Structure 1
Amino acid sequence: MVSGRLYGYARVSSKDQNLDRQREALAGVDVLVEEKVSGKTFADRAKLRTLIDFAQAGDTIRTKSIDRLARDTRDLLRIVDELASKGVALEFIDSPLLNVSTKEGRAMITIFAAFAELERESIRERQLDGIALAKAAGKYAKAPKLDAAKIAAARERVEAGVPKARVARDLGVSRQTLHSALNGNGRYAAA
């Protein structure tokens, strides 16, 4: 039973992902805090930091799953410890039996978090393997940093006497990239 305020925390990793499933799962909380930011590190999540600072003894923070709160075991345990020291309860909708106020619950949450972190690392390894295979097959290439309009504008500036180093800096590319684009080399070669 919640004695204080009930806060919900919903998070997705990128701006184009949507929070609808989490919003639905967290319906009925007093305040819903939402973030669209990677869960890779706790330090990057300002809204979660503010929520933890704001929550008081007797309050509860509810989230859909462990990985919405943290994707790194150390971050998760730091968050759990900080909330416990303040007397703030923590609930996971997808894992309602995890009670982090007991030593058994802490052990289980550590195991769950470790497996979530292992899965994230495995996904990243598979992604890198896939990219390497695609590159070897000639099917993977990053898009050029400069489009035709930017190259034309850069050419005009260089011809007007603006140093190439400054033009490159203004475009946010290396001097080598600018040189390749202006000379039609590499990925900037006419097809």
Structure 2
Amino acid sequence: MSEHKGQVVGYVRVSAADQNEARQLKALGAVDRLFSEKVSGKSADDRAQLQEMLAYVREGDKVLVQSPDRLARSTTDLLALVEKLKSKGVALEFVDNPALNTDTPQGEFMLTVLAAIAQLERKTIRERQAEGIAIAKRKGVYDRAPKLTAEQIEEARQRVSADVPKTKVARDLGVSRQTLYAALTGSGKYAGV
């Protein structure tokens, strides 16, 4: 492992407010600066402490994280974060999985393999989605069904006739104003309803 010349920055994340980050803190050991997050299921952009850490780190720093799943929820997100840190000259070390550390040739190789797998996965998903859409179109079932039933449309017409604002009617029915207008005028998917 190469020597870093900057700060050792720790990042911990627990999924719920009632969870304790003590296990992660123990795994990281001594750090110069710690960023701790209690949040679940959010993208990297929505995690304030992660964004603050990314803004804080400088060339020569090393970020310590217990494991990849504490840093990112998907391979794609993980690779984007690794690239962001790498572009700043910041090393990334996973305490529980040193094979992915960015300051070793083996870690660089493993991350390259992960990137290739993620790219293949994205392409495969797009191909399957396109195939599914093509099959559905051939069967004539690709269009979405109208969101409003005939009864709901009749109720909406009565409420609009009673001077209830269309915005309120749409909100009460759980649809957009555009959907309500299409239903009231019998256009688009609502033709003949």
TM-score normalised to structure 1 length: 0.55
Secondary structure of 2:80's partner? helix
* Contact residue 39 and residue 69 of structure 1 kept, 8 A: no
Contact 1:5 1:58 in 2 (8 A): yes
Instruction: Determine the structure 2 residue equivalent to 1:43.
Output: 45
**Partner amino acid, structure 1, of 2:77:** D
Shift of 1:111: 6.0
What's the CA shift string for 1:94-147, capped at 9, x where partnerless?
Answer: 0123233567534524667979xxxxxxxxxxxxxxxxxxxxxxxxxxxxxxxx
Alpha-carbon spacing, 1:27–1:45, altered in 2? closer, same or farther (3 Å): same
SS of corresponding position for 2:99: coil
Question: In the TM superposition, what is the alpha-carbon distance from 1:27 to its structure 2 partner?
Answer: 2.1
1:64-143 equivalence runs, <5 A? 64-101=66-103, 105-109=107-111
Gaps of at least 5 residues in structure 2 are 119-171, 174-193
Q: Distance in 1 between matches of 2:87 and 2:73?
A: 21
**How has the CA–CA distance of structure 1 residues 78 and 94 changed in structure 2, closer, same or farther, with 3 Å as cutoff?**
same
Equivalent pair of 2:99/2:110 in contact (CA under 8 Å): no
Give 3-state SS (helix, strand or coil) of 2:98's partner.
coil
- Deviation, structure 1 residue 45: 0.6
Identical positions, percent: 49
Q: Deviations over 1:28-58 (max 9, x none)?
A: 1111110001254111211111111110000
Contact 1:39 1:70 in 2 (8 A): no
Q: Is the 8 A contact 1:8 1:26 kept in 2?
A: yes
Moved over 4 A (4+): 101-104, 110-115
After TM superposition, give the deviation of residue 73 of structure 1 in Å. 1.2
Pairing of 1:132-171 with structure 2 (within 5 A): none
Q: Residue 24 of structure 2 corresponds to which residue in structure 1?
A: 22
Relative to structure 1, the CA distance from residue 3 to residue 103 in structure 2 (aligned partners, 3 Å threshold; closer, same or farther) is closer
Q: What amino acid does structure 1 have at the position aligned with 2:28?
A: L
Rounded to whole Å, the distance in 2 between the matches of 1:25 and 1:89 is 18
CA RMSD after TM alignment: 2.9
Q: Name the SS for the 1:7 alignment partner.
A: strand
Normalised to the residue count of structure 2, the TM-score between the two structures is 0.54
SS across alignment from 1:35: strand
Judged with a 3 Å threshold, the aligned counterparts in structure 2 of structure 1 residues 111 and 13 are, in CA distance, closer, same or farther, namely: farther
Alpha-carbon separation, structure 2, partners of 1:72 and 1:53: 21
Q: How many residues align?
A: 121
Indicate the structure (1 or 2) with the bigger Cα radius of gyration: 2
